[in-house]
Amino acid sequence: MNKDDRMSRMQELVELLNRAGKAYYQDAEEMMSDYQYDALYDELQSLERELGVTLAASPTVNVGYEVLSELPKERHESAMLSLDKTKETEELKEFAGSQKVVVSWKLDGLTIVLTYRDGALFKAVTRGTGEVGEVITNNARVFQNIPLQIPYQKELILRGEAVIGYKDFEKINAEIAEVDAKYKNPRNLCSGSVRQLNNEITAKRNVRFYGFSLVRAEDVDFHNSRAYQLDWLAAQGFEVVEHHMADRETIEEEVIKFSEKIASNDFPSDGLVIVYDDIAYGQSLGRTSKFPKDSVAFKWADETSRTTLKEIEWSPSRTGLINPVAIFEPVELEGTTVSRASVHNISIMEELKLGIGDEIEVYKANMIIPQIARNLTESGVKDIPAACPVCGEPTEIRKVSNAKALYCTNPSCQAKQIKSYALFVGRDALNIDGLSEATLEKLIARGFIHDVADLFHLDRYSEEIQSMEGFGEKSYQNLMGSIEKARETTLPRLLYGLGIANIGLANAKLICKQIGYDTEKLMNLTMEELDAIDGVGEVIAGNYVDYFSDEVHRELYQRLLAEVSLPEAEGVSEPQILEGKNFVITGSVHHFSNRSEVKALIEAKGGKVTGSVTSKTDYLINNNAESSSSKNKKAKELGIPIISEEEFLALIQ
């Protein structure tokens, strides 16, 4: 490239890297992988050296990004600089020279500055731009492991990293229904958790703090040693980063020892930090405009492998977002076999110019998450689905937060009906173990399920299911056993499982009992017939009739009847000896598995079970009649009999 071309490329890189940085630091989103960012950053640095030009907006001279929130801002006493980085152990040896160094984890979270006065936590501030941070003192007080009181009574300032572990990250993400609302990685989750305006939310996120640097502590002899400072902080009650001493001869060995721990670590890290142990020597070196000269970051030289892209699997979610997943010829990376990697969105696909049959280079980000590093053949993006792979209805490309993504336009797409499938397999309906919402989502996305009747024929996809992440032969067999067990059910459970609006299990039992458990009559009930049933009002009746007026629903119900076995109609031959009687059940039970079994028996004999004691209650069942519970007190106030299980069983006999 001539000079003009190189200048143009440099401007392009500055703009691209700043956009990626803004997305990552401010919006908790990901435009590109760390691998791509580092490669582009290195290219920019190289151009700046060649041209002798550094643009004012260049990320090589600007530290951090302006934070956007309602948290109060505060300027740091001294700028918090980034660290220069290397991926070569030879460069670490050169850095160490004749000095001893401290090697520690470079944690991947949010850097926090803590200030203690008179032995108590006084202030906590985020790194922010490096010059100005956000005050998050209230949130820091609810971190899992920060000491609120310490022995040292003078002013203490230290820096550390707030992180959320992988287990907590997965647990929190699993509770988020919308796929596109899930956090991409623990660092993004931690950033959002630490900067909450309500620290009750922070407290639930299990944020931990690991000290990595002492800034100030007067009148303490630290023996001119960084390692001693960290050990002293640990003695004050802080958890500090794991750290080991090394020198030029042993530093490569230490790097290997740290790398061997990554697979078993619960906390996220993106490399190591190497700092001179000799404090005075390190400080004498000064700093550049961006980096301190007493320390350097080591980033793992990612193990990459070349492979061939076989297909892009488009995976629909309950929000309509259709996620692209790259499927490639299996390769060994960091000791495991990988064959798939999320591409996140169409914008990243276009950046990589990703096409079927391309030769690609893959790696594990932070030695854990499979990613595409680069595309060697760049044939270009083709064949973005015009139809949803689940429902077949049209798709559309939308721009969300500066990234293009594919969406299904059909509001009735099966992938958007996860809640209805979850209800059908739930405990009060068909009770099929092993089908969480996450598993249902995967099965639907792969086209194994188009309606709930397909759940009874998952054996058609035995090989595919056993090869799914989180599945194996044993879990597959357990699932099949649970499905077979679910085939024997009751008509009320089946009716409830259809998910008709406002039809709960209790209403389903009332309706089935009224029609004598007649499966044919169940789908032909009129508004008048339903309205006449005690406990079924006009709204419920309207929803019921509307549901069965749809031929698709009638056909599904009939197919389900062919899949299940309904025992003799429950309650038909049972003497209705409890008809007109109202019960409340509380406390533990001994003769039944749970209170639900007691409830089922009462209802089978014509009685009704409610949740609270009122003047209409006939009996309160409680094995501890002397309990001071609110239900017992209310029953005694109203003169309602409190009976034990034994007395209840005697009553129905």
Annotated active-site positions, please? 106
Sheet containing strand 85-86, strands side by side? 85-86, 295-298, 269-276, 101-107, 243-246
* Nearest Cα residue to 421 out of 400, 389, 444: 444
Pairing of strands 295-298, 85-86: parallel
Euclidean distance between CA atoms 33 and 46, whole angstroms: 20
Separation in Å, CA 56 to CA 39, 48, 133, 283:
21, 12, 21, 27
Angle between helix 3-25 and 34-51 (nearest 10): 140
Chain centre to alpha carbon of residue 361: 27
In three-state form (DSSP H/G/I as H, E/B as E, the rest C), the secondary structure along 67-95 is CCCCCCEEECCCCCCCCCEECCHHHHHHH
The answer to whether the CB of 563 falls within 8 A of the CB of 456 is yes
- 185: burial class by Cβ within 10 Å (0-12, 13-18, 19+)? buried
The answer to whether the CB of 367 falls within 8 A of the CB of 34 is no
Chain centre to alpha carbon of residue 245: 36
Euclidean distance between CA atoms 213 and 283, whole angstroms: 14
Euclidean distance between CA atoms 415 and 391, whole angstroms: 8
Structural tokens at position 225: 């040693």
Can you give the length of the chain in residues?
Answer: 653
How many other CB atoms are found less than 10 A from the CB of residue 485? 13
The answer to whether the CB of 597 falls within 8 A of the CB of 519 is no
Euclidean distance between CA atoms 368 and 162, whole angstroms: 20
238 φ/ψ angles, rounded to the nearest 5 degrees? -90, 145
DSSP letter for each residue of 172-191: HHHT---GGGS-SSHHHHHH
The answer to whether the CB of 643 falls within 8 A of the CB of 620 is yes
Pairing of strands 156-163, 110-117: antiparallel
- In b/e form, how buried is each residue of 624-635, taking b as 16+ CB within 10 angstroms? eeeeeeebbebb
Structural tokens at position 202: 């922070």
Euclidean distance between CA atoms 47 and 36, whole angstroms: 17
The answer to whether the CB of 558 falls within 8 A of the CB of 494 is no
Sole residue written with tokens 């009462």? 602
Which 8-state DSSP code applies to residue 569? Answer: P
**Partners of residue 391 on adjacent β-strands:** none
650 φ/ψ angles, rounded to the nearest 5 degrees? -65, -35
